[in-house]
Structure 1
Amino acid sequence: MSEPLIPQQLRSLIPLNALSDQQWRELRSQLVPQPLLAGQLLFRREDHARVTWYLLSGELLLRDADGVETRLEAGSEASCHPVSPTLPRLHEALALRDCSLLAIDSATLARQLTWGSTHQDLMLELSPDGDSEWLETLLASPLLARVPPANVRSMLERLRRVELPAGSQVMGEGETGDCCYFLQSGRAEVIRGAGSEQQLLAELEVGACFGEEALLGDCPRNASVTLLEDSVLQRLDREDFLELLKAPVVDEVSLGEAVRMLGSGGQWLDVRLQEEYERAHAPEALNMPLHLLRLKARLLNNGGTYLCYCDSGKRSASAVFMLSQLGFRAYALRDGLDALPALQRDALISETGAGYLARSGGRIERSR
């Protein structure tokens, strides 16, 4: 079996190039090249498999419903993007030469892109406070992957600072789990059992979370945690933790409803990466990538209506939640571009290139 590829070998692939090192590690098991021999089919037209394919080497023939054929060669600009990403597939894909391909679970990729944008947005806003190391580690933790991206800011706002001296037992084995903690500074040890049966399970460093298993499983603590140094903790109560695991409700619209809103002065907002936007976007759509949206929102018209879209609908849902918190009227295209029939999708994202710029107060002009 082939060894997994390393991120440096994949940095030209869009939008994979936006992922963090932690996200690359999470994808490691999926980064193994898959062979496709000359003459073999990769997928048929109308295929619904939620897999994002990239061509790493070789050449594919893409044939659409009208019989129009396109050659896709590895190393070309087009091969930096997913192969026929719309579902159901618009093309049949056949190997003209022996190929090597990368297959990424589309749902995992969509979640990582949304979370990555949220992470960047929070770090841009909060890192000037000067205490960013623990926050950086916290945001990269597996626990935070369970929290819907739109809720992460609320979670940080609900944390309560606790200062304790070395030797303090923060939680005891067998206790009821009423909260979890994040270690902002200091060190702690995790111990299970007592007396001669005592086992040291782990030492916790800055950014670590502990106590969450009792909350997720609604069970007693399975270990004790004692501080090895004077420490600063951030406490999150059980009720807040469980509430923040629920995805927030955002306003969504169908394409037909969005078109009616456009006729009444609505504005498309493409919240994907710039490279994705330039490949194809809606007419007169503004590009405000999710991770920059909070910074760029000051350019929007407070009285305007904004219609956000992305491929899967996840990034646009987070964008709508963020804009709503900032006082804007915003809606997400339900389930994203990938849920649209092929003809509707092609008609909607029909422009290519750099597109449009937002100026203060919501004024829009064509970029040069």
Structure 2
Amino acid sequence: MSEPLNPEQLRSFTPLNVLSEQQWRELRSQLVPQHLLAGQLLFRQGDQARTTYYLLSGELLLCGVDGQEERLQAGTAVSCHPLSPSLPRLHEARALSDASVLALDSATLGRLLTWRLAYQDLLLELAGNGEDTEWLERLLENPLFTKVPPANVRAMLERLHPIDLPADSRVLVEGESGDCCYFLKSGRAEVIRGADSARQVLAELEIGACFGEEALLSDQPRNASVTMIEAGVVLRLDRQDFFSLLKAPVVDEVSFGEAARLLGNGAQWLDVRLQDEYERSHAQHSLNMPLQLLRLKTRLLDKGKTYLCYCDSGKRSASAVFLLSQLGFSAYALRDGLDALPPIQRDALLCESGPGYLARSGGRTERSH
């Protein structure tokens, strides 16, 4: 199998040349050349696969809908642009010699480019003022921020309060109420649940990580503690600013009718209540993934699916949608939860013992009782 290409080998390709180092790392698994034999077809006219192709080596023949032919040689100015980018394809592409191409998922590439162009001016402005922008760049590359308007990000930056913390200091304490969230600007921190013999390290936070938001969204006590492993700086964002600048554009809510339409297009219910609540009644064919376990179990979810999250009041499902958005999933919350549904809709949605699925450790999904 070929080794992935490095960014320096791809800097001549447009618009790949505007991507950041972090974005190149996100694309790394796709940066493997696809080899073609002379005469082999790459794509046909009318092809609608959402793939962006670049010619790396060799020669291709492009045949247009009008029968006009164009020979494309690697290394030329024309070959530095995507091959027949319009969908459906306007050309057939066939290798005239042994060749290689780079095939990138168009949706992923589009997301990265949109982010880069939307925030490039802001990052340049901050860098010009002598500020370290690494933490912000890494924060903004979170899929969550594809939904946050640049104006909101600018306003958020003005309202962040920096706090210098020594090693071993606690930023969050499990069980306390939450009135803010934080971003890690520098240093290292870890997320811990429990104490003494029950103490469990859940994760180490990376620069740019957002934490503490789950207590705000669910209006519940902190479900874990966060401790600095080494000295660093955290940035505090107050509750009101979090809701107006981040939660509002990120957490998409749908009505029962809109949820039914999405289900018809392949979406799946995701019940984020406790297992006991789920087993008393749940939506048929829904997957149970309690909110407190969601971050640990998202590996069981499919990023190609749309998830419809529900709970009783809508608060836990809002938390779930925010978390799933951070991880690059498509998700919606049932507006105001099950409690807001009229009895006829609630009865239509919930069943006492219909098909359901529980997400288990080890990657297993099993039928509920």
Asked if these proteins are the same fold (TM beyond 0.5), I'd say yes
- Structure 2: which 5+ runs fail to align? 253-369
Contact 2:138 2:208 in 1 (8 A): no
Q: How far apart in 2 are the matches of 1:218 and 1:28?
A: 38
Q: How far apart in 2 are the matches of 1:56 and 1:30?
A: 14
Q: How far apart in 2 are the matches of 1:185 and 1:199?
A: 23
Deviations 1:139-166, CA, capped at 9 Å, x for gaps = 2237633213661441342343153654
Pairing of 1:114-125 with structure 2 (within 5 A): 114-125=114-125
Partner of 1:97: 97
- Aligned-partner SS, 2:184: strand
Pairing of 1:100-249 with structure 2 (within 5 A): 100-130=100-130, 132-133=131-132, 135-141=133-139, 144-148=142-146, 151-158=149-156, 159-161=159-161, 163=163, 166=166, 168-173=169-174, 179-184=180-185, 188-201=189-202, 204=205, 207-212=208-213, 221-227=222-228, 229=231, 231-235=233-237, 237=239, 238-240=242-244, 241-245=246-250
Q: TM-score, normalised by structure 2?
A: 0.58
Superposition deviation, residue 209 in structure 1: 2.8
Q: How far apart in 1 are the matches of 2:66 and 2:219?
A: 56
1:83 matched to 2:87: no
- Aligned-partner SS, 2:46: coil
- Aligned-partner SS, 2:70: strand
Letter in 2 for 1:245: V
Superposition deviation, residue 191 in structure 1: 2.3
Q: How far apart in 1 are the matches of 2:243 and 2:176?
A: 17
- Aligned-partner SS, 1:42: strand
Contact 2:180 2:236 in 1 (8 A): no
Deviations 1:14-49, CA, capped at 9 Å, x for gaps = 111111111100001111111111112111111111
Q: TM-score, normalised by structure 1?
A: 0.58
Superposition deviation, residue 87 in structure 1: 1.0
Range 70-79 or range 223-232, more displaced = 223-232
Contact 1:57 1:99 in 2 (8 A): yes
Pairing of 1:228-307 with structure 2 (within 5 A): 229=231, 231-235=233-237, 237=239, 238-240=242-244, 241-245=246-250
Letter in 2 for 1:2: S
- Tell me which of the two structures has the higher relative contact order, counting C-alpha pairs closer than 8 angstroms and 6 or more residues apart: 1
Partner of 1:360: none
Superposition deviation, residue 215 in structure 1: 6.5
Superposition deviation, residue 203 in structure 1: 5.4
Superposition deviation, residue 81 in structure 1: 0.7
Letter in 2 for 1:148: T
Contact 1:185 1:233 in 2 (8 A): no
Q: How far apart in 1 are the matches of 2:7 and 2:233?
A: 36
Q: How far apart in 2 are the matches of 1:230 and 1:41?
A: 54
Pairing of 1:28-39 with structure 2 (within 5 A): 28-39=28-39
Could you say if the C-alpha distance between residues 150 and 170 of structure 1 is closer, same or farther in structure 2, counting changes exceeding 3 Å?
closer
Q: How far apart in 2 are the matches of 1:60 and 1:105?
A: 21
Superposition deviation, residue 3 in structure 1: 1.2
Deviations 1:33-76, CA, capped at 9 Å, x for gaps = 11111112111111111111011111111111121111111111
Q: How far apart in 2 are the matches of 1:165 and 1:116?
A: 31
Superposition deviation, residue 208 in structure 1: 3.8
Partner of 2:260: none
What's the % identity of the aligned pairs? Answer: 58
Partner of 1:6: 6
Q: How far apart in 2 are the matches of 1:48 and 1:152?
A: 31
- Aligned-partner SS, 2:79: helix
Range 81-90 or range 112-121, more displaced = 112-121
Q: How far apart in 1 are the matches of 2:189 and 2:103?
A: 40
Could you say if the C-alpha distance between residues 95 and 232 of structure 1 is closer, same or farther in structure 2, counting changes exceeding 3 Å?
closer
Q: How far apart in 2 are the matches of 1:217 and 1:79?
A: 51
Superposition deviation, residue 179 in structure 1: 4.1
Partner of 2:49: 49
Aligned residues: 245
Contact 2:148 2:249 in 1 (8 A): no
Q: CA RMSD in A?
A: 3.0
